[in-house]
Amino acid sequence: MNYRITILLAVLSLSSFLINAQTNCANFTLSQGDIGIESETFGVSLADFDGDGWKDVVTIDAYNDIEVYFNNGDGTFNTTPITLGGDSWRFGVEVIDIENDGDWDFITSPFSSSSGNGMEIWENDGTGSFTLKDNIVNNSSGYEFAVGDLNGDGYTDIFFPHGDIDIMLNDGTGNFVSNGQNNLSASSAEAVTLADFDGDNDLDAVVVRGGGAGFVGKYYINDGTGQFMDSGQELSYGCEGVAAGDIDADGDLDIAIAPWMGSVHFWLNDGLGNFMPGDTLHEINWFFNDIILKDQNFDGHVDIFTDTHIWLNNNNNPGNFILQDFEMDASNHDFEVADINNDNLPDIYLGRFSSNDGDQVFLCDEPNYIIGDTTLCFGDSIFLQNAWQTQPGSFLAYAGCDSLSLTNLSFYDEINTEVTILNITLTATVAGADYQWLDCDNNFYPIEGETSQSFTPEVTGNYAVEITENEICSAISECYFVEVNYVVTFTVTDINYNPLENVNIQINNSDIQTNQSGTATIELPNASYNYLATLEDYADYSDTVVVNSANVDVEIILTETVGIKEGDNNELSISPNPSNGVFTVKMGQGLFASAQQSKLIVTDISGKGIKNYPLSKNYMEIDISKQPAGIYFINIKTDKVSIIRKIIKH
């Protein structure tokens, strides 16, 4: 059987290898080519400007104005733009939320210092209507720039290489001020990318430059406050485009460079921001203007888009790339990869540098979908599309050359764990679920048999309920304290076991009276209580009752005192009590004053005499160790006084 599994795995592995080696796995169809026919497009950037959920595009008409084309809501663009800025030479454009107000603004870079307009900050009112907010870095001329949070304050800043390097920090209101550095330069800068190359959680910069060997690319290190230092590393020269991504899937960010003329090649990061030359994609030796790294087929690895060709990263051997058959052949300076028709697939907007041909939109061909539905419990997460997902949505994953798995993710509602308390009964608010009540004071141990919506504890403590819905989702409530009262029943009789009615019992600041049957009851929580039983013509009786998570029965025998003076209990002490059967009785002299006769009788709880001692001294030892364990009474009687005290033998 094992050899069959081995053969099957080998076949699957070969099949996977062949799929990854295919050159027809990234396919796009030209869907529109009439956008800005008379415009010579330099910069391109996409965002949902009017808040309708569809990406729009802002383009730079090289020697004229700025043009914004709105998405028709079907992946096509209205070919009648709104125009901004008048005739002026501009080059790059980047979308940015300058004030963190939730709508997309944009910034342009100047192509000629003679225009005098510098970088332009265009502010969106949320509907796609733009107003020029400011001009910065005036009298400058450059190409591309990059935006990102350079000083860690949560607002997007600007890195603009144009001979000098201007780093403009956002003050949080959409106003940009220089970081004050004037010691950085990069002549003939063509493009820049921002990424955390050295793993210190801030954005560094790589600038590539056009020209010969004297115009090498540069890597600038951010100190975290928006201040940059030239690393001294020298990268490729004669380049047009640069992008950052984890090319070899080793967990750090590498660099892909597109030359003006030549082959796409890599600089690989050691994880600390030190770059070494990597592979060169020799299949194509051509003119390039831009490069983008993006996962095209949802396999978790970055792929390569240029303005002419696409390479897919081999997911069986990351860092090795397979040239695809698809090509774009149009004069251009910039392009973008984004989902234009809201099918969750990456599409291409190619800005054409032509006054006779419009910009082009290439929509990603629909793959074969393997569809599955997954529902998770509230608060759970699942790793889909290269991230932990905690919200509903549809997520894609690689399933072969022309196939994607589509997971429709949903979540069950949050379980209501609220509990109500009525008297001492706990009730879970949510109905129709499965329940298990838990003892919070015992490490949340399940209480056997308590699986109903309501639960009445028998013992004082803290309790919670685990509620299960949809068979798989569980949540535990907070702990609720319940104080359980237990019934203490007093039964009072005389020495002949006749019930005594109207005996008053003082306990826990309350007074209760016995009924005709000689009983009285009171509900009390766990504790130790002193009590006093009194009835006219009977000797008072006092003792202590302990309530310990159970009902308690207390039997009291009162002795008549008609014609006899009641003694002071303070003149009598018995110790130890309880004991193993030997008790020491000490009596005050007042018990014998003027007494003609006196005696001490020990009775059991039924009143039967056990021991009889004459009283001749105020100190004596009582031994009932041979009697069974239980409650006994010491009766001290003189012709003047009568005292009864309870003793307990273990």
Taking the domains of the chain in order of start, what are their residue ranges?
A: 27-365, 374-411, 419-482, 486-560, 572-649
- Per residue in 501-547, pLDDT tens? 999 999 999 999 999 999 999 999 999 999 999 999 888 888 999 99
Confidence of residue 17 (pLDDT cuts 50, 70, 90): very low
Q: What is the pLDDT at residue 560?
A: 78
- Per residue in 246-267, pLDDT tens? 999 999 999 999 999 999 999 9
Measured distance CA(641)–CA(567) in Å, rounded: 5
Contact 525, 486 (CB under 8 A): yes
Tell me which fold the domain 572-649 belongs to: Immunoglobulin-like (2.60.40)
Confidence of residue 329 (pLDDT cuts 50, 70, 90): confident
Indicate whether 568 pLDDT > 70.
no
Indicate whether 290 pLDDT > 50.
yes
Domains 27-365 and 572-649 share a fold: no
Measured distance CA(244)–CA(267) in Å, rounded: 10
Token couple for 129: 């209507």
Higher-confidence position of 548 and 418 = 418
Angle 643-647-649 (CA atoms, 0-180°, nearest 5)? 160
Q: What is the pLDDT at residue 16?
A: 41
Q: What is the pLDDT at residue 590?
A: 67
How buried is residue 7: exposed, middle or buried, by Cβ count under 10 Å (0-12/13-18/19+)? exposed
Q: What is the pLDDT at residue 441?
A: 96
Mean pLDDT of the 69-73 span: 98
Indicate whether 400 pLDDT > 90.
yes
Q: What is the pLDDT at residue 594?
A: 61
Mean pLDDT of the 312-321 span: 94
Q: What is the pLDDT at residue 481?
A: 96
Measured distance CA(142)–CA(131) in Å, rounded: 23
Indicate whether 573 pLDDT > 90.
no
Indicate whether 42 pLDDT > 70.
yes
Helix (H) or strand (E) holding 157: strand 157-170
Per the confidence metrics, is the pTM higher than 0.75? Answer: no
Q: What is the pLDDT at residue 570?
A: 53
Question: What average pLDDT does the structure give for the chain?
Answer: 90
Indicate whether 617 pLDDT > 80.
no
Indicate whether 15 pLDDT > 90.
no
**Cα distances (angstroms) measured from residue 73 to each of 34, 59, 83, 103:** 17, 19, 20, 18
**Which of 275-284, 357-366, 628-637 has the lowest average pLDDT?**
628-637
Indicate whether 165 pLDDT > 90.
yes
Indicate whether 5 pLDDT > 60.
no
Confidence of residue 12 (pLDDT cuts 50, 70, 90): very low
Confidence of residue 117 (pLDDT cuts 50, 70, 90): confident
Q: What is the pLDDT at residue 1?
A: 29
Name the superfamily (CATH) of residues 27-365.
Integrin alpha, N-terminal (2.130.10.130)
Indicate whether 168 pLDDT > 70.
yes
Percent of the chain at pLDDT above 90? 74
Confidence of residue 141 (pLDDT cuts 50, 70, 90): confident
Tell me which fold the domain 419-482 belongs to: Immunoglobulin-like (2.60.40)
Higher-confidence position of 590 and 196 = 196
Name the superfamily (CATH) of residues 486-560.
Carboxypeptidase-like, regulatory domain (2.60.40.1120)
Mean pLDDT of the 210-222 span: 92
Confidence of residue 443 (pLDDT cuts 50, 70, 90): very high
Q: What is the pLDDT at residue 21?
A: 65
Instruction: Name which of 419, 353, 488 is nearest 62 in CA terms.
Output: 353
Confidence of residue 599 (pLDDT cuts 50, 70, 90): confident
Mean pLDDT of the 119-127 span: 97
**Which of 99-108, 114-123, 311-320, 507-516 has the lowest average pLDDT?**
114-123
Q: What is the pLDDT at residue 522?
A: 96
Mean pLDDT of the 112-132 span: 90
Cis peptide bond N-terminal to 277, omega within 30: no
Q: What is the pLDDT at residue 638?
A: 75
Indicate whether 495 pLDDT > 70.
yes
**DSSP annotation string for 116-141:** ---EEEEEE-SSS-EEEEEEESTT--
